[in-house]
Chain A
Amino acid sequence: MERSVYAESLRGESSAVRKRDNVLRTLAKASDRVMATFFVICGFASIALVVIITAFLVSSGVPAIHEVGFKDFMFGKVWTPTSENAQFGILPFILSSFYATIAAVVLSVPLGILTAVFITKFAGEKLASLLSSAVEMLAGIPSVVYGLLGMIYVVPTVRNVFELPDGACLFSAVIVLAVMLLPSVISVSASAIRTVPREYEEGSLALGANDTETIFKVTLPAAKSGISAAVVLGIGRAVGEAMAVMMVSGNVPNMPKLFGSVRFLTTAVASEMSYSSGLHREALFSVALVLFVFILGINMLLNFLTRKGKN
């Protein structure tokens, strides 16, 4: 008796239930579709952003290069944007950026790689994790803090040691940059070294090579592509750094001299943008465009190296 009442009530509800289920199912399908569209849009956002950034930089950077002339712009040695006979040569910026980057990389790469070797091969577990934390701390420090330390400690020291009228120069910028590159060089090379199979090293040791020979002739060559990625990453960082080097380089658009005040591609943009106008402003956009092209080149190289490393 009870059972049949129950069945009766089920039958009565069933059409309502079915209706509700149908509504829910339609809703679920609709939300599936909406969310799928949303995800597609998000997925393409990064491509769109790269295109937009490139478009804005090219469209605002090309006019001034066109007006000044490509050759005069890229290879002109004089940058006097505000004088009556305005000249827009950015060779001093390009060369300063180039020299500072090379020098900083030369200083920090050997130091970084050797430290990575120490962390991965020589240090005990505790010491290694302590050092890694220290490196992470260095990596996390904002660039303006490095700039501040450079202003207060590096610049006066350089002035006193080399007996210069002013310590804010290319050399100080190189020191600050080298310190700033260290953390990323160390962490990327350390992870490259960690991927080298233990058997390689055991083979080398079994053949009678001692531990340093094994590291320098087997481990490091095997980790070559990861380590070169670290170097290229460092180059990209050094070329792109603005605030810290602006605080220690003196910021005068001279052709680069080791103990002379210099201005880089980045600092030219950062320091003059706020007061520039007209062709001067457009020329600064062109400087940014040149910097962007350099960075794209470095990125492509980095990409190539990391892909090679994966294979």
Chain B
Amino acid sequence: MNGNNTAFRRTKSGALKAAIYFSAAVVCILAVTVAAVVLIKGLPHISISFLTEKPSLLKGTTGILPNILNTLYIIFFTMIIVIPLGIGAAIYLNEYAKNKKLTNLIGLAAETLSGIPSIIYGLVGMLIFVQFCGFGTSLVAGSLTLVIMTLPTIMRTAEESLKAVPQSYREGALALGSGKWRMLRTVVLPSAVDGIITGVILSVGRITGESAALFFTAGMANEIYGLAQAASSGNAGSTLTVSLYMYAKERGEFDTAFAIAAILLLLTVLLNFGAKYVQKHFSNRT
């Protein structure tokens, strides 16, 4: 009986261990396959002209320069608004707010925002920025939509790193006669810069991969804009992800779609490592 029991336990344990190894292997194979397929099918179609031209029906060529530029514009516009907003909110939560209930409520609101799916952001962005504010389907409307979407990330990462700044730094600055803003600007924010950079990189990654929120807000045009044009209302433009969708689903040009997918994959991996590097770099320093 006892021997049986031990044998049973050993078999069960072996089976579970096999399941664990099997799952890890599946995930491993999945990751390698996904990366390999995207790169093998995508990289051969990337050329200089593909990266530096806009699609032309006359010449029958495709180029993704407009989409690259639009992605950069949207990242830029979103960041210049969301960085001060998010850091400001984090500063308020960590340095000013005294009412615990209120900070909980703000935290709850931020969590709610981070749980809303991007298609709803797209719809709300269309209602608010495209129609109500009258920006039209434009890069500006898309960026403002993404500001709402990335706000929780910037807020949370900034708040976490503000919390990690020792209280004695603040007391030291105040004791030397500094005002609160001067103390924040010269002592607290510089010590919290790692979390802020991490949050920015994460948000840039999210924006690079975003499609559903931009579908109805930023539109699908493939025009090349200058910075001033991009910032004015009514100028629609598709980012890399939106154009990938259009090439794959609407036009069936899978070579182009895979080429964009490869670029997106490389970008997201790069951003991932960037975020990791920043964290490591700063945690080593302190």
Bound Cα distance A210, B117 (Å): 43
Asked whether any CB of chain A lies closer than 8 Å to the CB of B141, the reply is: no
Cβ-neighbour of B120 out of A42, A57, A247 (below 8 A): A57
Known: A49-B113, A115-B27. A151 touches B248 (CB 8 A): yes
Determine whether the beta carbon of B13 is less than 8 Å from that of A148.
no
Q: Which of A36, A115, A145, A216 contacts B23 (CB 8 A)?
A: A115
Tell me, yes or no, whether B9 is within 8 Å of chain A by CB: yes
Closest chain B CB from A285 CB (angstroms): 7
Nearest CB on A from B188, distance (A): 12
**In the assembly, what is the distance between CA of A45 and CA of B113, in Å?**
11
Question: Does B7 touch A at the CB level, under 8 Å?
Answer: no
What total count of A-B pairs have CB within 8 Å?
A: 247
> Which of A112, A114, A153, A211 gathers most chain B CB within 10 Å?
A114
Do the beta carbons of A39 and B88 come within 8 Å of each other? Answer: yes
> What residues on A are CB-neighbors of B248 within 8 Å?
144, 147-148, 151, 247
Interface of B is mostly: helix
Bound form: Cα–Cα A100–B179 in Å: 56
Contact B109 A47 (CB under 8 A): yes
- The segment out of A69-77, A88-96, A197-205, A298-306 that lies at the interface is A298-306
A162 within 8 A of partner (CB): no
Interface residues of A in 39-56 (CB under 8 A from B): 39-47, 49-50, 52-53, 56
B23 contacts A269, C-beta separation under 8 Å = no
> Are A296 and B112 touching (Cβ within 8 A)?
yes
Residues of chain B lying within 8 A (CB to CB) of residue A302: 111, 115
- Identify which of A148, A151, A215 gathers the most chain B CB atoms within 10 Å of its CB: A148
Task: Tell me if B117 and A295 are in contact (CB < 8 A).
Answer: yes
Given the interface contacts A36-B180, A149-B37, A240-B120, does A138 sit within 8 Å of B30 by beta carbon?
A: yes
What sequence of 0s and 1s flags, for each residue 98-118 of chain B, a beta carbon within 8 Å of any chain A beta carbon?
Answer: 000000011011111101111
B74 in the interface (beta carbon within 8 A) = no
Complex Cα distance, B43 from A43, in Å, reads 44
A9 interface contact, C-beta 8 A: no
Q: Is the CB of B127 within 8 A of A56?
A: yes
Complex: A29 Cα to B97 Cα, angstroms: 19
Q: Point out the residues of chain A lying under 8 angstroms from B132, CB to CB.
A: 56
Say if the beta carbon of B73 comes within 8 Å of chain A: no
Of A32, A142, A211, A288, which one neighbours B179 at CB under 8 angstroms? Answer: A32
A119 touches B24 (CB 8 A): yes
Cβ–Cβ contact A141 & B20, under 8 A: no
Instruction: Tell me if B119 and A43 are in contact (CB < 8 A).
Output: no
Inter-chain contact B212/A270, CB cutoff 8 Å = yes
Q: Which residues of B contact A85 (CB under 8 A)?
A: none
Q: List which B1-32 residues lie within 8 A (CB) of chain A.
A: 9-10, 12-13, 16-17, 19-24, 26-28, 30-32
Q: Which of B45-53, B190-198, B225-233, B267-275 contacts A (4 or more CB under 8 A)?
A: B267-275
A174 CB within 8 Å of chain B: no
Cβ contact within 8 Å between A137 and B35: yes
Interface on chain A toward B: helix, strand, loop, or mixed SS? Answer: helix
Q: Is B258 located at the chain interface by the 8 A CB criterion? A: yes
CA distance A52 to B127 in the complex (A): 11
Of residues 132 through 164 on chain B, the ones whose CB sits less than 8 Å from some CB of chain A are: 132, 148, 151-152, 155
Sort chain A's interface into a size bin. Answer: 35 or more
Residues of B within 8 A of A153 (CB): 37
A141's contact among B12, B209, B215, B245, by CB below 8 Å, is which? B209
**CA–CA, A46 to B32, complex, Å?**
39
Cβ distance A147 to chain B, nearest Cβ, rounded Å: 7
The answer, among B12, B89, B180, for a CB contact under 8 Å with A42, is B89
Contacts of B272 in A (CB 8 A): 133, 136-137, 140
Contact check, A39 vs B95: say whether CB atoms are below 8 A apart.
yes
* Chain B residues within an 8 Å CB radius of A215: 16
- Residue B124, interface by CB 8 Å: yes
CB<8 Å pairs between A and B, sample of 6:
A43-B88, A111-B26, A137-B31, A140-B209, A186-B27, A288-B123
Instruction: Report which B residues bind A (CB closer than 8 A).
Output: 9-10, 12-13, 16-17, 19-24, 26-28, 30-32, 34-35, 37-38, 84-89, 91-93, 95-97, 105-106, 108-113, 115-120, 122-124, 126-128, 132, 148, 151-152, 155, 179-182, 184, 205, 208-212, 215-216, 241-242, 244-245, 248-249, 254, 257-258, 261, 264-265, 268-269, 271-272
Pairs A-B, 10 closest by C-beta atoms: A240-B117, A42-B88, A43-B92, A142-B209, A114-B23, A140-B268, A118-B24, A134-B31, A242-B119, A39-B92
- Chain A interfacial positions (CB closer than 8 Å to B): 28-29, 31-32, 35-36, 38-47, 49-50, 52-53, 56-57, 60, 110-112, 114-115, 117-119, 122-123, 131, 133-138, 140-145, 147-149, 151-153, 179, 182, 186, 210-213, 215-216, 236, 239-243, 246-247, 266, 269-270, 273-274, 285, 288, 291-292, 295-296, 298-299, 302-303
Other than A32-B181, A291-B120, give 20 A-B pairs with Cβ distance below 8 A. A42-B87, A42-B88, A42-B89, A43-B106, A49-B151, A52-B128, A56-B128, A56-B132, A115-B26, A136-B272, A141-B264, A144-B241, A145-B38, A145-B244, A145-B261, A148-B254, A149-B37, A210-B9, A211-B13, A266-B119
